[in-house]
Amino acid sequence: MLDLSAALTVASKCQHDSIQTRHRINLVNEWQIQPGFRVLEIGCGQGECTAVLATAVGSKGCVDAVDPASLDYGAPVTLGQAQAHISKTDLGDRINWNQISPLDFLMSVDENSPYDVAVLAHSIWYFPSPDILMDILRALRRKARRVCIAEYALSTSTLAAVPHVLAALTRAALEAYKSVSEENIQTALAPARITAIAEEMGWKLLHQAVVVPEEGLLDGTWEVGTVKTEEFLAEIESAVHDERVKVLLGSMRDAVLNSLATLGPEATVRTMDTWVAQFK
């Protein structure tokens, strides 16, 4: 297991704060990633989890990190800049970055040399539809021994994270009416639905747990922040033509604002719980 005290060291290698890194360490420890493992990470983004995985597998392991997003995506640091920074550290020779769709990458994977683990860490909600997840899990059946997933649980053990749950559902509801989206939340699949899809694709649930993010993980604050803006109302007007749906989305946004008012003006929004699972 990785020691949480290593978070500062790993965080410096991926240009992210130590709280984000500690969160990823907790996920990787739940998955029991071992030294020497060959890991496939789907939806690596800027490499927050990639750096932790590379640390866990050690010098004899490797991580193939896959993400189709443009290397110019992201601010203030882009994907390309973040990945290049990690590559210059001692973790660089353990990581292979692949700017390609997961399905295209999996077409090239040899079934006779499967990965020990395939990881999807906070990447499923980026998919534009559940069909993408189905196709990936189907393609992984003979190419990975285990699949490890972490995604937000749509539940919370603390009242301060209720606004995040409501904001995530509100954002996902709006994105469902857009033909093209670049938002972090496009398809807010719940753990039960992810499990059902995995089992339909031939995977068996081995273990599941809930990781409670520590205070200071700002994902909840970011997502709530985008929904509470006036720009979100403008997005509703632009993307939705059914007046009843506009009313519904406006009311969902109001629910987010009401939950913030319940917490009080001095309260800090927390990030909702994370569901962590392993499939074989």
Q: pLDDT tens-digit profile of 45-95?
A: 999 999 999 999 999 999 999 999 888 877 778 888 989 999 999 999 999
Count of structural domains, the chain: 1
pLDDT at 4: 72
pLDDT at 152: 98
Closest CA to 124 of 42, 46, 202, 210: 42
Least confident of 9-23, 74-88, 147-161, 166-180: 9-23
Percent of the chain with pLDDT over 90: 83
Average pLDDT, the chain: 94
In a domain, 253, yes or no: no
In a domain, 192, yes or no: yes
In a domain, 263, yes or no: no
Least confident of 65-79, 135-149, 206-220, 243-257: 65-79
Q: What is the mean pLDDT of residues 252-269?
A: 95
CA-to-CA distance for 63 and 65, rounded, in angstroms? 6
Q: What is the mean pLDDT of residues 95-123?
A: 95
pLDDT at 224: 97
In a domain, 139, yes or no: yes
For residue 13, the SS3 value is helix
The CATH number for 32's domain is 3.40.50.150
Query: pLDDT digits over 231-252, tens only?
Result: 999 999 999 999 999 999 999 9
In a domain, 229, yes or no: no
* CB atoms near residue 249 (< 10 Å): 24
> Residue 203 in contact with residue 261, Cβ under 8 Å?
no
* Domain, as residue range, for 79: 4-158+184-214+268-279
Q: What is the mean pLDDT of residues 136-151?
A: 97
In a domain, 232, yes or no: no
In a domain, 165, yes or no: no
* pLDDT of 226 above 90: yes
CA-to-CA distance for 124 and 129, rounded, in angstroms? 9
Local confidence band at 7 (pLDDT 50, 70, 90 cut-offs): low
In a domain, 188, yes or no: yes
pLDDT at 181: 87
pLDDT at 112: 85
Global pTM value: 0.94
